[in-house]
A and B are shown apart, each in its own frame.
Chain A
Amino acid sequence: NAGVTQTPKFRVLKTGQSMTLLCAQDMNHEYMYWYRQDPGMGLRLIHYSVGEGTTAKGEVPDGYNVSRLKKQNFLLGLESAAPSQTSVYFCASSLTSNIQYFGAGTRLSVL
């Protein structure tokens, strides 16, 4: 039981490049979330999903897209990366809206 696994752990992009971050959970959780964490700040919600095939916008969705084609996976895409998207990205999942379990994070730098 691995919990929540994020891939990759680190990535460096050039401005304008695209990439996809993968989040996988093996706990059969319905809800999944993508957050970003910037220095000196708490986490801010980018997008979330309340079940397979559903997605919704969070607090800071601009510049990101997501997909939840399978219940266990939640993908976060950056179509044209910008330096402002340099951040640490966390994925989380929860069975209900109660306790969220977090992955180890992906550190992304956009040059």
Chain B
Amino acid sequence: GIQVEQSPPDLILQEGANSTLRCNFSDSVNNLQWFHQNPWGQLINLFYIPSGTKQNGRLSATTVATERYSLLYISSSQTTDSGVYFCAVEDGGSNYKLTFGKGTLLTVNP
């Protein structure tokens, strides 16, 4: 099956700093989503982005499908950005099944 690798595994920032999270995948994809899991365990969809660039406030994401990677940018980080960020992909023949990476644990200190 498709492989999803996220980097870095852990990231510690001071409030106000910027960061870039990366997601590499091993095959072409129909679907790529970024999720944020907050410290209470809730999973929130951030972006549906199988290709191109999207922005939502301080967050933006870019997927370069031909090179099989996606980037999540967090600008002017806040303590509420802390949590685990997951990349999940659906390959072309998977019938709607998302494969998740292991996530990036982000800690934003005040």
Residues of chain A having any CB pair with chain B under 8 Å = 31, 33, 40-45, 48, 50, 56, 58-59, 88, 90, 92, 94, 97-102, 104-105
Interface string of B96-110 (1 = CB under 8 A from A): 111111110000000
B30-49, CB < 8 A from A: 30-31, 33, 35, 41-45, 48
Subset of 8 A-B contacts with CB under 8 Å:
A42-B102, A43-B86, A44-B100, A94-B96, A97-B90, A100-B98, A102-B45, A105-B41
Report how many A-B pairs have Cβ atoms within 8 Å.
56
- CB contacts (< 8 Å) of B33 on chain A: these are 99-100
A59 to B102 Cα, complex, angstroms: 15
User: Which residues on the A side are within 8 Å of B100 (C-beta)?
Assistant: 42-44
Number of B residues, CB within 8 Å of A: 24
Is B98 a contact partner of A45 (Cβ separation < 8 A)? yes
**Given known contacts A97-B30, A105-B41, A42 and B88 CB-to-CB distance under 8 angstroms:** yes
Apart from the given pairs A45-B98, A88-B41, A105-B41, 14 other A-B contacts in the complex at a CB distance below 8 Å: A33-B98, A41-B102, A42-B86, A42-B88, A43-B100, A48-B97, A58-B97, A59-B97, A59-B99, A98-B48, A99-B45, A100-B33, A102-B35, A105-B42
